[in-house]
């Protein structure tokens, strides 16, 4: 499965992308996480349904110092996962 998440709340400037990277990599997921221009965090992850459910649970919990107000989830076409590699942070410097 390939799933897109949009995480809203206080999720920028609090280590949220690093938190997501650590969680997703530990779960063996492929995909990426990045900040959006409007202050949210966007995640695309590919893996088995139970593992994606674990990631979603972590997204709702959030990192220390973050506040998650909403996690909006969309399933993507399986073909979207073909180009995904090891989980990474996009736009990190």
Determine the Cα–Cα distance for residues 10 and 46; give it in Å rounded to an integer. Answer: 25
| Continuous segment of H or E residues that includes residue 33 | strand 30-35
Q: Is residue 17 among the annotated active site residues?
A: yes
Contact 75, 5 (CB under 8 A): no
Q: At what angle do helices 16-26 and 49-61 cross, to 10 degrees?
A: 160
Which position among 34, 35, 64, 67 bears the catalytic label?
35
Query: Which one from 3, 10, 17, 67 is the annotated catalytic residue?
Result: 17
Separation between Cα atoms, residue 51 and residue 69, nearest integer Å? 22
Residues catalogued as catalytic? 17, 35
């Amino acid at each position: 499965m390939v799933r897109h998440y949009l995480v809203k709340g206080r999720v920028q400037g609090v280590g949220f992308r690093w938190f997501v990277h650590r969680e997703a990599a530990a779960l063996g997921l492929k995909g990426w996480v990045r900040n959006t221009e409007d202050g949210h965090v966007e995640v695309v992850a590919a893996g088995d349904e139970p593992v994606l459910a674990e990631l979603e649970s972590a997204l709702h919990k959030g990192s220390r110092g973050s506040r998650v107000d909403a996690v909006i989830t969309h399933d993507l076409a399986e073909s979207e996962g073909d180009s995904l590699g090891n989980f990474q942070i996009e736009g990190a410097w």
